[in-house]
Amino acid sequence: MIVSCSRRTDIPGLYAPWLMGRLEAGFVLTPQPFNPRKITQINLDPQKVTCLVFWTKNPKPLLPFLPRIDALGYQYFFEFTLTPYGLDLEPNLPAKEELIDVFIELSQRLGPLKMDWRYDPIIIDAKRPLSYHLDNLGRLGEKLAPYASRLIISFVDEYKRAKVFQSPKLEEMVELAAGLGAIANSLNLPAQTCAEAIDLSPYGITKGACLEREKIAAIIGGEINLKKDPGQRKACLCAESVDLGVYNTCSHLCAYCYATKSPKTAAQNAAAHNPKWPSLTGKTPLGGEITRVIG
């Protein structure tokens, strides 16, 4: 069982004490996304968890807990999103230089295999033209490439609450890919897309899975049989995982986020959070009942 922590909210950045408590307790309660009164209990016995995946823009709060996570016997790796965007898009993140230092510290501690650098979503507009991304990816890449196993990119999607950000045109994606691919190649950094239908392989950017069988097998030191995740978008190639997170709980409040429909609700949920709860959002979320057990 692969456990995502989390595509729905930044657990390492915002809820690290809660996560540590759940790992030590051995289970977590998670409301089902589209029927939150139905609760899934996810058992977190290290013998049943193949790998933890930490999806985050700021893993620094989790660092003090890593020795305890190691002692419990969990294997894990980081999907670390680090972009050059400013406070207009990412208002509640630490300074980027601080995050670069955290990335390097984690890699020196864990090894590059456990560090994926995500440059996403790519937003192309008047303030962030193609040259902006090429310049910044080259600058960030020079610092991060020695400490990352691969570069993962994706382009912004026109989610309902983020229509202000238009998906790039085909010619823009191709032109950018040619430059990004050349930069990644010069840095000896494998590059791939995340859940993109477009084929950018002519520019050295392959279609790939963030949760990839070969990578996870290398991390755990053994073979593993994984199925494609049917719950993700059609173009997503990731292996199946279970997610501990809850939508509308991320107080980073990034302007392009698909997981926060209501900033007000997210702020309220974050403020009400108790790290001793079995769920991010309560003792038994929204008065629901456990209808499913995994693991």
What 3 state SS string does the chain have? CEEECCCCCCHHHHCHHHHHHHHHHCEEEEEECCEEEEEEEEECCCCCCCEEEEEECCCHHHHHHHHHHHHHCCCEEEEEECCCCCCCCCCCCCCHHHHHHHHHHHHHHHCHHHEEEEEEEECCCCCCCHHHHHHHHHHHHHHHHHHCCEEEEEECCCCHHHCCCCCCCHHHHHHHHHHHHHHHHHCCCCEEEECCCCCCHHHCEEEECCCCHHHHHHHHCCCCCCCECCCCCCCCCCECCEECCCCCCCCCCCCCCCCCCCHHHHHHHHHHCCCCCCECCECCHHHCEEEEEEC
Contacts (Cβ under 8 Å, ≥6 apart) of 71: none
Q: What is the pLDDT at residue 230?
A: 86
Residue-level pLDDT at 258: 87
Q: Is the dihedral of CA 19, 146, 239, 235 positive or negative?
A: positive
Q: Where in the sequence is the domain holding 288, given as residue range(s)?
A: 2-294
Instruction: Please state the pTM of the whole predicted model.
Output: 0.95
pLDDT at 224: 87
Q: What is the pLDDT along the chain (295 residues), one digit of tens a residue?
A: 999 999 999 999 999 999 999 999 999 999 988 888 889 999 999 999 999 999 999 999 999 999 999 999 999 999 999 999 999 999 999 999 999 999 999 999 999 999 999 999 999 999 999 999 999 999 999 999 999 999 999 999 875 444 568 889 999 999 999 999 999 999 999 999 999 999 999 999 999 999 999 999 999 998 888 888 888 888 898 999 999 999 999 999 999 998 998 889 998 999 999 999 999 988 766 567 888 899 8
| Cα–Cα dist 30/92, whole Å | 25
What's the gap between Cα 233 and its chain centre? 15
Single-letter amino acid code for the residue at 93: L
- Number of domains the chain is built from: 1
Given a contact cutoff of 8 angstroms between Cβ atoms, the answer to whether 117 and 103 are in contact is yes
Residue 216 to residue 293: CA distance in whole angstroms: 24
The pLDDT assigned to 238 comes to 92
State residue 287's pLDDT score.
Answer: 65
Q: Which two tokens stand for residue 212?
A: 């990839």
Alpha helices in 197-240, H assignment, sequence order: 213-220
